[in-house]
């Protein structure tokens, strides 16, 4: 099986990972976590929903939490296309390949197209949002991790190759991937449109589920500070993994869990991936450096816990995973 | 006069600021400055030339120095287009608008197109370069400022509006600009293709001249460290300006001068600028915060000294500049 | 003239620079500056006074501002001695050398001894203060520069050698000094008791005046952040000098001016100075690196403006200073 | 049992933790680890020994490795006293309390006194060492973790209270301690002479053994960088624990293991502890925040592995420890 190739003459222009819509039991708790502790900006809130954005974002929202009494789920991830014409082209494209896509009205967004991708994940596309002020120079507002902008999503998919082809067909390019040694069996794929490391990542597992969404933060200091703040507030158990450095993507990361168990990554480092001659970086499955350049591997809960998509069933993965969790690593006598 | 509008259906796809070709009297001195002190990677060198790249760059070069006994000049700036087809489209476009563009062979690059832009600056376009390893995870190689990649050029232009139209006509978008209060008379324009703050900047003055080229660095610490290293090596006079924070672009910056007087900016902060609804940020000429959020203004030499382009005459600026230099600022009794 | 030698069998044990008492016209403005912007902790306040401390300090106060309608002055600097017995020994010592020292009651402090030092500066000694919680692990309180503790005072003295002898006689040791090339004529002396770079600094000039007091901050990031915060609040003119790196003391510094014109230094770097065999570092007056390892020299106002001590006349300096100010440096054609 | 009280009129003046003497199988490997990777300065080396110091240290050595073919041991820890007279007073004191102390000649040190402390740890005292240049402003030499100076030792002692009394009797003061909830049974004691958090730490366990020695590093960035360097060199398994933040001492830490298994801590944060009224900070044994403000607890090997002292037998601990290791923590279902 060969690595899926990006369609360079994309049928429409997706520009970036845009936003994610989650549910939460208690919006006050969600607000305390995301705005007071982590440092996101509240753009809008009422009794039923909370709209947040990063400090530098001029778009209305990159994270939406809707009140819902049940277990926290992900309602949908959002992608941006460049222009309204790209939206029209997207609709035509999905019609042509037999994917149901329908126009919907979504508050604070321009015309929006809803569809499910090839792994069953609910996605929405829009070209515009309401415009709001960037706070990137309101340094007196910075606190917690000082998150700047939403960067990417990581999705657990039962069939990574199938999920990947859906996105390479609409112009996503692969920056890095993990494959079984000596084969092209895909365990993980890092896909991008915006010219750096990733907009969407797929990793093999029971899916579709949202493993995490990620915001960029400005500096190493901010990464340490959010851990310290969690510690000083007595809620260090929100720290799910890290700090650490990924081999894949080169991110200096920390992962936190929100009050509903949704996972957010905060990370500093990125690289540019624009040029056409640059080949994807391959990581053999046997290379444990891919997930951790230093320190200990992630514990089981990082590997196996994720957020379900609303009303979506999950499937068993095509490849049977047996990662070196922290638990195993320690049992191996380190 | 209205602000030039970007042509959204660009005639060809320029992806990013790519590289700059300078001349230097003494390549050993240039190498010591850029590789040993600042921390760029040497990709290739011989008696007549020196090719360098940032630590994360997979492209062969982003900075080229050619040996030349005279005063240091800039031979050319380089832009990337996405595919070879974009190169063909570029040639057609320039033919159609009466701009002489010719194919040339350039070492380590794919087919390359040479032309002069509307302000007389020599530019080259290519779609590919030779592929080399990214060193972004060779942390033991990091030193000096640990520069990661070339980000943008700043050009002194005698007619900023004319220069701007050339680039908006080929799809560049304006992120920020400076205009005389109450008018749209352009003193400075920040133009981008790669989805963040800038690829090319034009500011009003005797031009065309290269004011500086800029590399990103990972962290506040690296900015301070390069100043400390310059201090400990007894060459603090290479520090031309800063550290400081620009209002426009939000860059945390320091400017250095190389052995031939060429100016390099090293900076940490960037913001994403992709969405179509986001309007350019306007700065009135009277707002001194645009160049400095904190600290002192730049001295005369930062405002008025720049690198000439090889064999190009300069013209007097359309707008007569009278910036608040550090010298004036102090004389005003601060 | 030989460099004054510390008396190793000190007559009493001064442990450290402790606190400074200033006057301010508007305590709300002082509070906004020191607590809201810079990030000091308010221990106590009423209509007539404001007591502040650093985030890690367990002592009641390190900075006191008393309301006073006139021009801001310094009422007194405070030093700590180790025990009450050291206070008694101090009283005996000053009696024995003919210096008037008197017991006073000072709120929130143990028994306190008042005296004027050899350069006419009002000093107070105490062995204890009221104990308050350290907030060094209340990371959610950290903001502005996150200042941790008062570190030292810098005093303009008309006779640096005379001032120095007063302190070496009570056990202060010299870590660094500036002298006219080829002589031991003292322009500046860095004196310490607590085992690092400095508790009191004397520099030549019209004195006695308080040039600045200094708080340590944890990290390079905090230094940049306070400049950014000043910039984002539109009060960048409070930045008096820096950021920069001192040759003497190795401090990475920024100087701010408070609403009454008092100068505070915030700095990160320190070195340990405990061992008896380590000789003071000498800096020739002609070596401009002593005040600036990188960047530009300080402007006139940093060199010549300082806070007067309450009701104290100043004297012309013994040595006639002609520092290379920023103004001169620029006029020299840099 | 009451907390041991420091003798404020110490019989002699110990100033600080000074140096540690270890053995290593392969001095080239030790040099690569400490000098090339971590960034210590080599002061002297020959076939049988390696002398290292921190970048800011003006003393000849703070870490000595002697070649020895066997398992790595600690030969001795070194403390500084202020003057030669303090050495004489120390000899008199130890004679008076029946502790064998003998004068020895040690290269690069002034007259040196050898003795075993109350827990059987070999200690040496000296007042002076050979003087060497501080490299704290040779920023171009900084690499790895840029370690500045030796700060403290942590010792596993079978009887923490007994060990503590030995040191409080010679003037050490307690900054923090761990005790069984509701009692003063001592599990760990942080002792200091130099006016900040710690010079010697004792924790309960099979002892005497050297748990680690610690060097200060300048900045958060340096902590992350040494992990990255270990990762990029493919030796991430030298990382023994961290990065993390201790509750006790407030250190932002990482622990590494050298080629002989000796453990070094690199850390950034410290606080000042000079004033006599400040009481020790008590941590109940049940409070897991003491060792970790955020992230995961240490694994078994951090808790139970340590370096033996040369030719010294160890004893079972007075208190039976059952710490929450990472292994247990994970098994508890986190």
Low-confidence ranges of chain A (pLDDT < 70): 1, 333-334
Helix H, strand E, coil C: the string for D219-279 is CHHHHHHHHHHHHHCCCHHHEEEEEEECCHHHCEEEEEECCCCCEEEEECCCCECCCCCCC
Whole-number percent of chain C with pLDDT over 70: 99
CB-based contact B225 D142, cutoff 8 Å? yes
Instruction: Show which residues on chain D lie within 8 Å of chain C, measured between beta carbons.
Output: 8, 15-16, 56, 58-59, 80, 82-83, 110, 127-129, 131, 134, 136-137, 148-149, 194-195, 218-221, 247, 250, 268-269, 271-272, 274-279, 293
**Six-digit token pair at A130?**
């309401």
**What is the pLDDT at residue B1?**
63
Alpha carbon distance A243, A295 (integer Å): 9
The per-residue pLDDT for B331 is 85
Residue C174: how many CB atoms within 10 A of its CB?
23
pLDDT value, residue B334: 56
In chain A, which residues touch D (CB < 8 A)?
A: 220-221, 224, 227-228, 230-232, 234, 236-237, 239, 242-243, 245, 247, 252, 289, 292-296, 299-301, 326-327, 330, 334
Residue of D nearest to B39 (CA): D140
Structure token pair of residue A84: 């309204």
Chain A residues with beta carbon closer than 8 angstroms to that of C228: 137, 139
Flag if C15 and D275 touch (Cβ within 8 Å): yes
Per residue in A213-270, pLDDT (tens digit) is 999 999 999 999 999 999 999 999 999 999 999 999 999 999 999 999 999 999 997 8
Answer yes or no: do A236 and D330 touch at CB < 8 A. Answer: no
The SS3 assignment for A156 reads: strand
Burial of residue C119, with CB atoms counted within 10 A of its CB: 0-12 exposed, 13-18 middle, 19 or more buried = buried
- Give the chain C residue nearest B292 (alpha carbons): C231
CB contact under 8 A, D232 and B140: yes
- Residue D59 DSSP symbol: B
Task: Calculate how close chain B gets to A129, using CA atoms only, in Å.
Answer: 7
Binary contact (A56, B277; C-beta < 8 A): no
Cβ pair A279:B218 closer than 8 A: no
- Is B320 exposed, middle or buried, given 0-12, 13-18 or 19+ CB atoms closer than 10 A? exposed
Q: What are phi and psi of B228, to 5 degrees?
A: -60, -40
Contact B232 D143 (CB under 8 A): no
Question: A255 with A263: CB under 8 angstroms?
Answer: yes
Which pLDDT score is estimated for A334?
56
Structure confidence at residue D106 (pLDDT): 98
* Residue C179 neighbours by CB under 8 Å, 6+ apart: C3, C185, C186, C187, C282, C283, C284, C285
Is B231 close to C330, i.e. CB distance below 8 A?
no
Using a CB-CB distance cutoff of 8 angstroms, which residues of chain A are in contact with residue D330?
299-300, 326-327, 330
CB B176 within 8 A of CB B160: no
B228 and C294 in contact by Cβ < 8 A?
yes
Alpha carbon of C238 to those of A68, A222, C190, C226, C254: distances in Å?
49, 25, 26, 11, 10
Please judge whether A229 and C140 are an interchain contact, meaning their C-beta atoms are less than 8 angstroms apart: yes
Number of Cβ within 10 Å of residue B316's Cβ equals 9
Whether the CB-CB separation of D66 and D49 falls below 8 Å is answered with: yes
Q: Do B252 and C224 touch (CB under 8 A)?
A: yes
User: Nearest-CA residue of chain D relative to B232?
Assistant: D138
Q: For the purposes of burial, counting CB atoms within 10 Å of the CB of D35, is it exposed (0-12), middle (13-18) or buried (19 or more)?
A: middle
Q: Cβ–Cβ of C299/B221 closer than 8 Å?
A: no
Maximum alpha-carbon separation in chain B: 58
- Going from the first residue of chain D to its last (334 residues), give the mean pLDDT of each consecutive group of 10, the final group possibly shorter: 90 98 98 98 98 98 97 97 98 98 98 97 98 97 98 98 97 97 93 97 97 96 97 94 94 97 94 96 90 87 96 94 85 72
How many helices (DSSP H) and strands (DSSP E) are in chain C?
A: 6, 18
Interface of D with B (CB under 8 A): 37, 137-140, 142-143, 219, 221, 225, 228-229, 231-233
ipTM of the complex: 0.95
Of C58, C268, C278, the CB nearest to D278: C58
DSSP 3-state of C36:
helix
Which residues have CB under 8 Å from B215's CB, separation 6+? B38, B40, B54, B62, B145, B147, B148, B149, B150, B151, B264, B265, B266, B267
Count Cβ–Cβ pairs < 8 Å, chain B vs chain C. 84
Which chain D residues contact residue A269 at CB under 8 A? Answer: none
pLDDT score of C42: 98
Nearest residue on chain B to A195, judged by CA atoms?
A: B194
Which positions of chain B have pLDDT values less than 70?
1, 333-334
- Taking contacts as CB-CB distances below 8 angstroms, the residues of chain C near B221 are 220-221
Cβ-Cβ pairs closer than 8 A, A with B, add up to 98
User: What gap in Å lies between CA C78 and CA C153, rounded to an integer?
Assistant: 10
Provide the 10 A C-beta neighbour count for residue C153.
27
Is residue C157 within 8 A of residue C205, CB to CB? The reply is yes
Which residues of B have a CB under 8 Å from any CB of A? 8, 15-16, 56, 58-59, 80, 82-83, 110, 127-129, 131, 134, 136-137, 148-149, 194-195, 218-221, 247, 250, 268-269, 271-272, 274-279, 293
Name the nearest CA neighbour of C212 among C49, C77, C328: C77
pLDDT of residue C1: 63
| Distance (Å) from the alpha carbon of D215 to chain A's nearest alpha carbon | 20
Query: In chain C, which stretches have pLDDT less than 50?
Result: none
| Distant-in-sequence, close-in-space partners of B4: CB < 8 Å, separation ≥ 6 | B161, B164, B165, B168, B174
pLDDT for position D91: 98
- Chain A residue with CA closest to C234: the answer is A138
Task: With beta carbons under 8 A apart, name residues in chain C contacting B234.
Answer: 289
CA A54 – CA A215 distance, rounded (Å): 8
Query: Which neighbouring-strand residues pair with D309?
Result: D74
């Amino acid at each position: 099986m060969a690595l899926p190739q990006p369609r360079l003459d994309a049928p429409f222009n997706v520009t970036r990972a845009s936003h994610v819509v989650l549910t939460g039991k208690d919006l006050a708790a969600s607000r305390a976590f995301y705005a007071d502790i982590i440092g996101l900006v509240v753009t809008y809130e009422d009794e039923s929903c909370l709209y947040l954005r990063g400090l530098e974002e001029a778009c209305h929202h990159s994270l939406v939490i809707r009140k819902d009494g049940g277990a926290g789920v992900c309602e949908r991830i959002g992608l941006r296309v460049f222009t309204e014409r790209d939206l029209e082209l997207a609709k035509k494209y999905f019609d042509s390949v037999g994917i149901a896509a329908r126009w919907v009205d979504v508050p604070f967004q321009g015309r929006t197209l809803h569809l499910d991708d090839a792994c069953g994940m609910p996605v929405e596309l829009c070209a515009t949002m309401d415009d709001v002020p960037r706070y990137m120079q309101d340094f007196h507002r910075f606190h917690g991790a000082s998150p700047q902008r939403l960067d990417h999503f990581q999705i657990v998919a039962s069939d990574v190759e199938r999920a990947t082809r859906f996105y390479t067909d609409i112009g996503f390019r692969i920056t890095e991937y993990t494959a079984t040694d000596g084969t092209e069996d895909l365990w993980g794929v890092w896909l991008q449109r915006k010219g750096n490391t990733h907009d969407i990542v797929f990793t093999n597992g029971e899916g579709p589920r949202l493993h995490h969404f990620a915001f960029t933060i400005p500096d190493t200091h901010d990464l340490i500070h959010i851990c310290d703040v969690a510690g000083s507030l007595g809620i260090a158990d929100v720290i799910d993994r890290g700090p650490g450095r990924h081999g894949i993507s080169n991110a200096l990361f920390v992962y936190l869990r929100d009050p509903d168990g949704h996972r957010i990554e905060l990370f500093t480092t990125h690289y540019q991936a624009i040029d056409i001659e640059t080949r994807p970086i391959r990581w053999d499955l046997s290379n444990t450096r891919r997930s951790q350049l230093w320190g200990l591997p992630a514990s089981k809960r990082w590997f196996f816990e994720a957020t379900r998509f609303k009303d979506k069933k999950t499937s068993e993965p095509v490849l049977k995973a047996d990662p070196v969790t922290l638990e195993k690593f320690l049992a191996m006598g380190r």
